[in-house]
Amino acid sequence: MRKANIVVFASGTGSNFSAVVRAVKTGVIKANVALLICDNPDAPVINKAVKAKIKTVIIAAKDFPSRDSFEKAVIGVLRSCNADLIVLAGFMRILSPSFVKRYPKRIINIHPALLPSFKGAHAIRDAFEYGVKVTGVTVHFVDEQTDHGPVIIQEPVRIEGKDTLQRLEKRIHKVEHRIYPEAIDLCLRGRLRFRGRKVVR
């Protein structure tokens, strides 16, 4: 029986990419990181993939005339590697509804807030500046809406009086790096069931 193939999409530093690779190498996730797809040729995650000996394909959106043509190129790459699960790890592009429908319940994302609160690219800052007492991390299946879809795992992070934005970011990232591999493992082992729009274990 072959191991499942994970494809990671990333655009930036790649800290969650590294957490997933570590979890695979230590056996926490029993799968292969088959590929990194990166839309940013200057992203630090590319060097991390090279050091980890993970195949990388750079597909820069600026090289395509439309989102549709960009996504067709991505789909072509995915076909070539038998992707079982697509893991978004700081991927800073919104996938179209048609792309998401092509991979139902096979795309997951991690968001640094307790969705549905503080959607968007600056969730940690937004929660900190709003003054909430508790924020957190959400891992969810991706659907046709942004920062939406059935929740796999959520974990709260209390905002402490001594927190700066930078300290809060570090604490949230630490939670991300722990629960994302856990969520991936649950997906790949078939431990999740759908009840309507909800995920149950």
Provide the annotated active-site residues: 111
| 94 CB-near residues (< 8 Å, 6+ apart) | 146
Q: How far apart are the first and last CA of the chain?
A: 24
Place of tokens 């959106």: 61
Buried b (16+ CB within 10 A) or exposed e, 4-15: bbbbbbbbbebb
Contact 131, 175 (CB under 8 A): no
Q: Six-digit token pair at 98?
A: 């048609």
How do beta strands 151-158 and 85-88 pair? unpaired
CA distance 201 to 183: 11
CA distance 164 to 169: 9
